[in-house]
Amino acid sequence: MSTFLPLKGISGVFDSTLNNDIQDGLIEYFDWGLLTKGNYFNVTAGETSPNGEDMSRLRMSSNDSYAAGQVWEGFRKNWVWQSGVSLQGFTAPLVGTNNTKPGISGIYIDNAFYPTTTTGTYAYHVDYFNGRVIFDNPIPTGSVVKAEYSYKYINVLYANNIPWYKQLQAKTLQPTASFLDSDDGPWNIPPESRAQLPLVAVEIVPTRTFKGYQLGGGQWVYTDVLFHCIAEDEMTRNRLVDIISLQNDKNIHLFSSNKINQESRFPLDYRGTPVSGALRYPDLVAQYTAGKLKLTKTTVQEMVTHNTNFFGGIVRMTTEGIKTNI
């Protein structure tokens, strides 16, 4: 008779585990929750900023990983691809109605419209997270590329994405005169290597406790989380801290990243492009539910000013959930 008792709480070493599920769930919840509260700005074709720059025009990327003329990027990252957002008194985000191609309906090249289904010379895909259009093959570097899109104002990120190797980028709410210069200005840094303000970065901290759930198995699991709120002015930083901390005693739904992975149903592909029928947060928790998480014991730990452009605040929460397989 074997005396070996297998590890509990996991199915395999390469599966998503509790820390990942909590972090994924919190980021998707706040990203969607903020979007439904108006966390976006629309950019229409030819729209000008207060300083007179064309906000819809994309700049040719200077990223050495691509050929010149292959990548064209907006002044803001994190474009909206999710449909179904409707707020009274607000214009809905600029996304199409084709569920097989979620997101914007197309782009303009030298004033000619090319839908996202374009093939041939001008075939392209949209990297929504990095706010850019990537052509299958380079187009002439003198082209004028524009897009109508919506970008998310507050960015909700994984804390490991900032700021250790990324440059925090302030003053990005409108393009500057140097925006179109691919060899100058703060936009010269590839979007993968910069994080735009304002932002909330979610960090799982090494504090966890357990309590028995019921006779026969299962435990309450308490995991602490930090929300790093960073903005370029004090008022916005304070607003971020309030938005997060006021969710104390809130119950949210988690989704199973393992089941989503097994069925290849992640909303975005490796290019940052929504897949056909991409699932939004409400769809993920409805189809791949993984229980609830309660946000408790909220405290505001720190409010700091790093310089005239960076104001930070930290909100700490304890998440409370049930693991029935431990």
In the chain the domains, ranked by start, together with CATH numbers, are 18-36+199-323 (3.30.2000), 40-152+169-177 (no CATH)
Residue 279 CB partners (closer than 8 Å, separation 6+): 265, 267, 287
So what's the pLDDT on residue 145? 98
| C-alpha to C-alpha distance for 76 and 127, rounded to whole angstroms | 12
**Could you report the per-residue pLDDT of 227-276, keeping only the tens digit for each?**
999 999 999 999 999 999 999 999 999 999 999 999 999 999 999 999 99
304 token code pair: 């700091």
Report the pLDDT value the prediction gives residue 87, as an integer from 0 to 100.
86
Average pLDDT, the chain: 89
The upper half-sphere exposure of residue 154, i.e. CA atoms within 13 Å in the direction of its Cβ, equals 25
Integer Cα distance of 324 and 326 in angstroms? 6
User: How much is the average pLDDT of 186-204?
Assistant: 80
